Amino acid sequence: MKKIMITGACGQIGSELVMKLRETYGTENVLATDIRKPAVQKGPFETLDVMDAKRMNDIAKDFGADTLMHMAALLSATAENNPLFAWNLNMGGLVNALEVAREQNLQFFTPSSIGAFGPSTPKNNTPQDTLQRPSTMYGVNKVAGELLCDYYFQRFGVDTRGVRFPGLISYVTPPGGGTTDYAVDIYYKAITEGKYTSYIAKDSYMDMMYMPDALQAIIDLMEADPAKLIHRNAFNVTAMSFEPEEIAASIRKHLPNFEMDYDVDPVRQAIADSWPDSIDASAAKEEWGFKAKYDLDAMTVDMLKKLQEKVIKSA
Ligand code: AKB
């Protein structure tokens, strides 16, 4: 049985990943760590600042980890507001985690992002291997991270694996500081207020994926036969690409009175404009069988149902 340690376990992906991994591998085999304590604690947890390399190493050793999933990172919009802090945290945390994996011979996962692409990248059906000259600090961190993970595999034989996630949509933990967060906020506001003001402009297409597909992708990649992996650390994965009017139209199929207007945020809009409109996930499909179950309408049905239940419960 695997023994998995996760950093950033209270974040948007981390909090759901911990639950999914505990269902799959057993509660006691998954150690959650984060700089802040979770609101509800139902399994092994340690407080950890990923900048503290020694503590990270000690915690992994004491737990007897064989796998490290490094999820702690600042997202694109927050990183743009404080680029130096983002560089220090995103790169410092990653190199500390890779060192733990190297010293203790752990299998390693960390997510990259569509943010690793930039304005000169082909915008449509963006290939797996292509130009990557991002114009954001987050993108610089992600490209450097992809290369660093490749380096740790080639130079030290660490079993590093990763995907380029698109915007992730979930009803469990709200995201914080991302450019794609509008596609989560819109569902909350549709339920609670019946209207939404989008900070992303009309016609701005970005790739997205529903969280259950993202979690399954992580497990499938980590379980994949290493002999089949050519692109270890930066597989393009996506389930859908849409712009604000399309997600609003999908919501209106269930809430016909839903209204949307725009108040575009120039910082997040510039980031969105620098990213691809849609990426090509065929390498992930060929090398480890990546498949997303949810398209936009299937996701909308589930999001609205789960959020309605959540709002009723908290009332
Ligand atoms: C963000 O918007 O920063 C993230 C991402 C696409 O990496 N959701």
Same domain as 144, residue 182:
no
Q: Which amino acid is at 111?
A: P
Distance 114 CA to ligand 1 centre (A): 7
| CATH classification at residue 161 | 3.40.50.720
Rg (CA), the chain: 19
Tokens describing residue 198: 């989008």
Protein residue whose Cα sits closest to atom 1 of ligand 1: 178
Structure confidence by residue, pLDDT tens digits, 224-279: 999 999 999 999 999 999 999 999 999 999 999 999 999 999 999 999 999 999 99
Q: Mutual orientation of helices 92-104 and 137-156 as an angle, nearest 10°? A: 20
d(CA 249, CA 297): 10
Given this model, what pLDDT does residue 155 score?
98
Residue 290 domain flag? no
* Cβ 276 vs Cβ 231: under 8 Å: no
CA of residue 315 relative to chain centroid, distance:
30
Q: Which residues share a beta bridge with 196?
A: 260
| pTM score, whole prediction | 0.97
- Please state the rounded mean pLDDT for residues 133-137: 98
> Is the CB of 111 inside a 6 Å radius of any atom of ligand 1?
no
Given this model, what pLDDT does residue 131 score?
97
- Please state the rounded mean pLDDT for residues 66-79: 97
**3-state SS class at 279:** strand
Protein residue whose Cα sits closest to atom 8 of ligand 1: 167
Whole-number average pLDDT of the chain: 96
Structure confidence by residue, pLDDT tens digits, 83-127: 999 999 999 999 999 999 999 999 999 999 999 999 999 999 999
d(CA 273, CA 270): 5
Distance 19 CA to ligand 1 centre (A): 21
For residue 66, give its domain range.
4-167+209-236
Residue 154 domain flag? yes
- Please state the rounded mean pLDDT for residues 144-165: 98
Same domain as 189, residue 76:
no
Q: How many domains does the chain have?
A: 2
Residue 267 domain flag? yes
d(CA 47, CA 56): 10
* Cβ 39 vs Cβ 174: under 8 Å: no
pLDDT bin (cut points 50, 70, 90) of residue 215 is very high
Given this model, what pLDDT does residue 127 score?
98
Per-residue three-class SS string for 149-211: HHHHHHHHCCCEECEEECEEECCCCCCCCCCCCHHHHHHHHHHHCCEEEECCCCCCCEEEEEH
Same domain as 106, residue 255:
no
Same domain as 173, residue 230:
no
> Is the CB of 178 inside a 6 Å radius of any atom of ligand 1?
yes
Residue 73 domain flag? yes
Same domain as 228, residue 310:
no
d(CA 274, CA 222): 30
Same domain as 118, residue 254:
no
* Cα–Cα distances in angstroms (integers) from residue 188 to residues 11, 202, 251, 257, 305, in the given order: 18, 19, 11, 15, 11
Same domain as 213, residue 200:
no
Same domain as 231, residue 219:
yes
If one residue of 78, 146, 181 were mutated to test the ligand 1 pocket, choosing by the most ligand atoms within 8 A of its CB, it would be 181
Tokens describing residue 53: 């390399």
The conformational region for residue 242 under phi > 0 = left, psi -120 to 50 = alpha, else beta, is beta
Protein residue whose Cα sits closest to atom 7 of ligand 1: 113
Catalytic residues, which ones?
138
Tokens describing residue 192: 């609670």
**3-state SS class at 77:** helix
| The pLDDT of residue 40 is above 80 | no
Residue 305 domain flag? yes
Given this model, what pLDDT does residue 314 score?
82
Residue 125 domain flag? yes
Distance 149 CA to ligand 1 centre (A): 19
| The pLDDT of residue 188 is above 90 | yes
Same domain as 198, residue 78:
no
| CATH classification at residue 252 | 3.90.25
**3-state SS class at 233:** coil
Distance 175 CA to ligand 1 centre (A): 9
Residue 131 domain flag? yes
Same domain as 186, residue 156:
no
Same domain as 70, residue 42:
yes
Same domain as 85, residue 47:
yes
